[in-house]
């Protein structure tokens, strides 16, 4: 959770100013909490999307099922969790390329050209947001 530090300046505040300040702090707190909840919902959706796909996830030349890919992406997410502030960060850090080789992950869907995993997930994130918004 985001913390806001307030430095007291020995000033006398009117009841109206105190009310405005409390309202502002509450609004910022609620907005921040809501944004974190929305980000986690988006990440959970993307993990479910990967797990339930009939496409294959190509990591370093080895093809994996959606379930295996989800487990691997989730493991990387746990590793990078502190850096992840948005669903786009989640994709960037957890589902784009190999930490070892630097090779981009590819998605191979039946009857379609292979695409970069990041593009595939960003497209799904856009669809999800559009449907949710």
Residues 69-103: tens digit of each pLDDT = 999 999 999 999 999 999 999 999 999 999 999 99
CA atoms within 13 A on the CB side of 35: 11
Q: Are 118 and 92 in contact (CB under 8 A)?
A: yes
pLDDT value for 31 = 45
Measure the CA–CA gap between 43 and 52, rounded to whole angstroms: 14
**Closest by alpha carbon to 122, among 82, 84, 95?**
95
Indicate the domain borders of the chain: 15-132
pLDDT in tens, 3-62: 454 444 455 656 665 555 555 444 444 444 445 569 999 999 999 999 999 999 999 999
| This model's pTM is above 0.85 | no
């Amino acid at each position: 959770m985001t913390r806001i530090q307030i430095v007291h300046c020995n000033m006398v505040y009117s009841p109206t100013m105190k009310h405005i300040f409390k309202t502002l702090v509450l609004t910022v707190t609620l907005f921040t909490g809501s944004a974190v909840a929305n980000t986690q919902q988006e990440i959970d959706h993307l993990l479910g999307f990967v797990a339930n796909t009939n496409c294959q996830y190509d990591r370093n030349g080895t093809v994996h099922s959606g379930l295996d890919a989800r487990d691997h992406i989730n493991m990387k997410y746990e590793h990078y969790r502190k850096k992840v502030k948005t669903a786009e960060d989640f994709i960037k850090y957890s589902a784009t390329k190999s930490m070892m080789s630097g090779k981009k992950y590819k998605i191979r869907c039946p009857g379609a050209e292979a695409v970069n995993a990041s593009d595939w997930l960003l497209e799904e994130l856009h669809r999800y947001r559009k449907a949710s918004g």
